[in-house]
């Protein structure tokens, strides 16, 4: 299998399936396409039908969307328990993933993922604050129902889908309630996340729009 991704530092959609695949122990090769570089267009043309990352190549199968890749891994490694056993929990986790996949556009635009640094003095604007509050509500509800340490008890697709949010909240120094803080700490301590951050630190590309200035 080959997983085509963007920059470790900035590509939050790439991070999600990559973490899940590392977590499960899938044997795969990473193809990295640095975004906004001279050869990005040609590389996307070669590997990515929708000209976006991530893309999974598994033999003849080409899957061009982060959530679809996570679903495929959860199906193929069904023993890994990447979705909750109980139908109601599974449905709630899927609703959270769908909300993440389709929403939080202010958080995504104004708090770009940046695994290489922290930003001091960041103050979210009102739209971003409203979305952060919604994220916290989702985390607190899931964690209080499951008892943690992961959103639905054990690590699953939903934790991988929200892992870049844990990264962003840390980068921008956003304070959240205790249960959410503990979940963020668990995400940052996950071996796959530690490896991703190390690979990010090894990168040298800088994408200026994703570099928010300290206040």
Of these, 39, 42, 51, 205, which contacts ligand GSH (CB under 6 A)?
51
Distance in angstroms (rounded) separating the CA atoms of residues 94 and 116: 30
DSSP H or E segment with residue 108: helix 105-110
Burial class (CB in 10 A: 0-12, 13-18, 19+), 151: buried
Is residue 6 part of the contact set for ligand GSH (CB under 6 A)?
yes
Contact 122, 19 (CB under 8 A): no
User: Where do we find the tokens 């199906």?
Assistant: 75
Is residue 52 part of the contact set for ligand GSH (CB under 6 A)?
yes
Of these, 34, 54, 153, 164, which contacts ligand GSH (CB under 6 A)?
54
Q: How far is the CB of 182 from ligand GSH (least distance, A)?
A: 27
Q: How far is the CB of 113 from ligand GSH (least distance, A)?
A: 8
The interface with ligand GSH within residues 67-126 (CB under 6 A) comprises 67
Within the chain, how many helices (H) and strands (E) appear?
9, 4
The interface with ligand GSH within residues 59-78 (CB under 6 A) comprises 65-67
Which residues make up the interface to ligand GSH (CB under 6 A)? 6, 11-14, 35, 51-54, 65-67
């Amino acid at each position: 299998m080959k997983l085509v991704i963007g920059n470790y530092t900035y590509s939050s959609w790439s991070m999600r399936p990559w973490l899940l695949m590392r977590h499960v122990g899938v044997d795969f090769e990473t193809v990295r396409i640095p975004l906004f570089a001279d050869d990005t267009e040609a590389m996307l043309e070669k590997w990515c039908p929708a000209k976006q990352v991530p893309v999974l190549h598994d033999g003849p199968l080409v899957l061009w969307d982060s959530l679809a890749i996570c679903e495929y891994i959860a199906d193929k490694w069904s023993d890994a328990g990447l979705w909750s056993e109980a139908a109601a929990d599974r449905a709630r986790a899927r609703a959270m993933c769908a909300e993440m996949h389709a929403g939080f556009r202010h958080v995504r635009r104004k708090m770009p993922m940046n695994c290489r640094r922290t930003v001091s003095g960041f103050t979210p604007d009102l739209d971003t604050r409203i979305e952060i509050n919604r994220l916290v509500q989702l985390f607190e509800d899931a964690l209080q129902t499951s008892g943690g340490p992961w959103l639905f008890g054990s690590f699953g697709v939903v934790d991988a889908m929200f892992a870049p949010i844990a990264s962003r909240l840390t980068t921008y120094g956003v304070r959240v309630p205790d249960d959410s803080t503990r979940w963020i700490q668990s995400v940052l301590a996950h071996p796959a996340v530690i490896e991703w951050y190390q690979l990010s630190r090894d990168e040298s590309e800088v994408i200026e729009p994703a570099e928010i200035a300290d206040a």
